[in-house]
Amino acid sequence: MSGKQEGVIEQATTRLETKKKASKKWFLFETFAVLFAAIFFGIPFYFVIINSFKNSADAAKLSLAWPEAFQFFANYKEVLTLNDGVVLRAFLNSSLITIASIIIIIFICSMAGFVLSRRQGMAKKLNYVILMGLMIPPTIVPTIWVLQQLGLFKSFPGIILLESALHFSFACLLYTAFVATIPRELDEAALMDGCGPFQLFFKIIFPLLKPVTSTVIVLSSIQIYNDFENMLYFFPGAENATVQLTLYNFTGVYGTSYHLLFADVLLISIPPLILFIFFNKKIVDGMTAGAVKG
Amino acid sequence: MNSSAKKMYPFVFLIPAALVYCTFFLFPTLMAFFYSMTWWTLDDWEFIGFENFVQFFQEPSLRIGFRNTLIYAFTTMGGKVILGLFLAVFLCSKIKNKDFLRSIVFFPALLSTIAVGFTFSALMHPTDGIINKALSLVGITGPNWLGDAKIALLSVAMTDIWKGVGIATVIFIAGIMAIPNHYYEALKIDGGNALQSFFYITLPLSRPALNTVIILALIGGLRTFDLVWAMTGGGPGFSSDLLASIVYKQYASGFFGLATAGNVLLFLFVGFIAFPIFKLLNRKEVDL
């Protein structure tokens, strides 16, 4: 009996030891992996931040070293006052384009998503047309031609409507999927109470779409704010500067002013950073929509 | 029900969206098919048939775009899938600092592509860049990442993977989190190890997430413009030119018909690659 007991105790201790060994191994692996991730993803950030504090010659060494002398305010002041404050103007332009586009996107996509979700036959017919907008990049010259014919090329209304069109598909699909979770009985009850379709949508359905509306706001605003390609094609001109294009002020054939370039990189990364801090979950939810169900 | 449905969900609701989407996206896209067959100056056009397309396939500086775009799209897709899956499995395990790591992996996805491109150009500087300095510490002479025609495209692709792997990771995490825990418990009772749990449970059951990542990464890669533009401008020579950057270059030099033909080819290219894969992936899902 005592032998049996000893056996059990022995077994338990070896199990405990292997567990300890395994957890030690795991701890080493974890430390290594965390370090690797920190280096792989952290160093570029550290590099940008530290170099934005250096003076011109020091930053041109492109090193990770501590600054010889801190030039925090001087660098940022220079970036903000360059070319009569082109960076500030770009911030205003980008904000205007982003906000106006989002208002239009919410308005047109929520209405379209509502009807498409409730009328499946129509949705099926239009499915491929909407998917096209997700896959195919806009054509450059024909789009410019259309904008010119409408007198909207290089104008705010032009770029705003264009951004709305290019973000329509994604937002519309999000709204369509979300409306499907709102019971139809609600519509019927509203109809019984004498609601028209406009009242039904704006008074009853639209307020219920709040979660998906906030996802659309956060995701689209990051995308439009970060948009470089469409601004370059369809909103050219010195006075039409947008934030992404300001980076080109600090690079050139005569060399790059790295300290100012990185200061500008940091400045224009502030709005996405703020959104990220406050709406982390919303952003991830929006980007992973459809990943689980397919 | 049908007539009441029409009344309750009127067609009018689609009109604002249809107007914006058709005028600024669908109509120009359709028009591109016509203007790709013209010699075009915006004010005037002349029909020249398929000459633009022929030129696109004949001139080496234009033709290289197809090969490069394919390499770029599949490299970035592969990198994001493998690295993203690895990171997701790791971040779903019982480690500490999970949230911090998730944030730092995901944040680059929200940054401006141009800013990331410029930053990595500095990191990849042949003599002063940190990457080559780190390599020289262990006795390796690093290559000229962006100046060597053989690897410039791959260097840009690496940067793209760095920036985009966060999205792949969060999609995989969502997929893995949706797997019911009892599968893993059953495997544990049957004595399965970690490797088996990955290959027999995690991988097959996060299939929808895998499909999403593949499709998103592939489409993103096929239409990439800004990262290449910021890092190499298509150079050295034409060695890292993608279809989208070639189209922009032709437009900037005033060859509007040729640029539009390039747009149409890009359109068909995306369609012919992404669409069959989309179908294939969705069919396999049903087989499971």
Question: A220 in a domain, yes or no?
Answer: yes
B101/A contact by beta carbon, under 8 A: yes
Q: Which of A18, A32, A139, A185 to mutate to test the interface with B (most CBs of B within 10 A)?
A: A139
Angle separating helix axes A156-179 and A72-118, nearest 10 degrees: 50
**CB atoms B29 and A138 under 8 Å:** yes
Q: Which of B7, B23, B93, B114 to mutate to test the interface with A (most CBs of A within 10 A)?
A: B114
Distance CA A103, CA A183 (A): 26
* Residue from B1, B7, B21 whose CB has the most chain A CBs within 10 Å, to mutate: B21
Is B285 in CB contact (< 8 Å) with chain A?
yes
Interchain pair B122, A62: CB under 8 A:
yes
Which domain does A157 fall in, by range? 82-287
How near does any CA of chain A get to the CA of B159, in Å?
Answer: 11
Domains in chain B: boundaries: 34-287
Phi and psi at residue B186, to the nearest 5°: -60, -45
User: Residue A218, Cβ neighbours under 10 Å: how many?
Assistant: 23
Residue A237 counted as domain residue: yes
Residues A192 and A273 in one domain: yes
Residues of A in contact with B275 (CB under 8 A): 135
Residue B2 has pLDDT above 70, yes or no: no
Question: What is the pLDDT, as a whole number, of residue B1?
Answer: 47
Question: Which residue from A140, A201, A291 is facing B175, i.e. has the nearest CB?
Answer: A291
CA–CA distances in Å: residue A10 to residues A15, B54, B102, B209 = 8, 80, 41, 45
Closest partner residue to A168 (CB to CB) among B17, B274, B282 is B17
Listed by number, the residues of chain B in 147-166 with a beta carbon closer than 8 Å to a beta carbon of chain A are 162
Nearest chain A Cα distance for residue B150, angstroms? 24
Query: Could you tell me the CATH number of the domain that includes residue A186?
Result: 1.10.3720.10
pLDDT in tens, B42-73: 778 888 878 888 888 888 888 888 999 999 99
Number of domains into which chain A is organized: 2
| Stated pTM of the model | 0.87
In a domain, A57, yes or no: no
More confident residue, B64 or A291: B64
Residues A14 and A104 in one domain: no
Is a pLDDT exceeding 90 seen at residue A144?
yes
Report CB contact under 8 Å: B29, A132: yes
pLDDT of amino acid B221: 92
User: Does the pLDDT value for residue A9 go beyond 70?
Assistant: no
Q: Are residues A39 and A154 in the same domain?
A: no
Indicate whether A76 belongs to any domain.
Answer: no
Same domain for A32 and A142, yes or no, is no
Q: Per-residue pLDDT averaged across B78-84, rounded? A: 94
Q: Do B20 and A104 touch (CB under 8 A)?
A: yes
| 3-class secondary-structure state, position B224 | coil
Do residues A131 and A28 share a domain? Answer: no
Statement: residue A294 has pLDDT above 50: no
Residue A64 lies in a domain: no
Lowest-pLDDT choice from A279-288, B91-100, B106-115, B277-286: B277-286
pLDDT at A83: 78
For the cut 70, the answer to whether the pLDDT of residue B286 exceeds it is: no
A39 and A124 assigned to the same domain: no
Query: Percent of chain A having pLDDT more than 70?
Result: 90
CB B112 within 8 A of CB A242: no
Q: How far apart are the C-alpha atoms of B212 and A104, rounded to whole Å?
A: 28
Which of A37, A162, A166 is nearest residue B101 as measured by Cβ atoms? A37
Q: Looking at residues B81-86, what average pLDDT do you find? A: 92
B96-127 burial: b if 16+ Cβ within 10 Å, else e: eeeeebbebbbbbbbbbbbbbbbbbbbbbbee
Residue A238 pLDDT: 78
Q: Which of A140, A167, A136, A170 is nearest to A153 (CA)?
A: A140
Q: List the alpha helices (DSSP H) in B178-232.
A: 181-189, 194-197, 203-205, 207-222, 226-231
Q: Could A139 and B260 be called an inter-chain contact, meaning their C-beta atoms sit closer than 8 Å?
A: yes
> Would residue A70 count as lying in a domain?
no
> What's the pLDDT at B148?
84
pLDDT beyond 70 at A18: no
Q: Which of A58-67, A103-112, A216-225, B165-174 holds the top average pLDDT?
A: A103-112
Q: Could you tell me if A45 and A158 lie in one domain?
A: no
Q: Which residue of B has its CA nearest to A108?
A: B17
Last residue of a domain, one of A51, A70, A91: A51
Q: Are residues A276 and A193 in the same domain?
A: yes
* pLDDT band per the 50, 70, 90 thresholds, residue B141: confident
Give yes or no for residue B23 having a pLDDT over 60: yes
Q: Out of A64-73, A263-272, B101-110, which region has the weakest mean confidence (pLDDT)?
A: A64-73
Q: Are residues A230 and A99 in the same domain?
A: yes
Instruction: State the average pLDDT for chain A.
Output: 84
Average pLDDT, chain B: 86
Tell whether A44 and A154 lie within a shared domain.
Answer: no
Question: How close does chain A come to B10, measured CA to CA in Å?
Answer: 7
Residues A119 and A229 in one domain: yes
Q: For B200-228, what is the mean pLDDT? A: 89
In this complex, do B13 and A146 lie within 8 Å of one another by their Cβ atoms?
no
Beta strand B38-40 pairing with B45-47 = antiparallel
ipTM of the complex: 0.87
Domain B34-287 listed as CATH 3.40.50.720? no
* CB contacts, 8 Å: A292 with chain B: 174-175, 178, 208-209
A133 contacts on B by Cβ (under 8 Å) = 21, 25
Q: Which residues of B touch A112 (CB under 8 A)?
A: 13-14, 16-18
Report d(CA B178, CA B202) in Å as an integer: 10
Query: Would you call B46 helix, strand, or coil by DSSP?
Result: strand
Q: What is the pLDDT of residue B70?
A: 92
Whether the pLDDT of residue B284 is over 60: the answer is no
User: Over the stretch A48-94, which tens digit does the pLDDT of each residue have?
Assistant: 888 888 877 777 777 777 777 777 787 888 878 877 788 888 999 99
A257 and A131 in one domain? yes
The CB-side HSE value for A210 (13 A sphere, CA atoms) comes to: 4
Beta strand extents in chain B (DSSP E only): 38-40, 45-47
pLDDT at position A199 over 60: yes
A67 found inside a domain? no
Is the pLDDT at B27 greater than 80? The verdict is yes
- Domain annotation covers residue A77: no
Contact B125 A136 (CB under 8 A): no
Pairs across A and B, CB distance < 8 A = 254
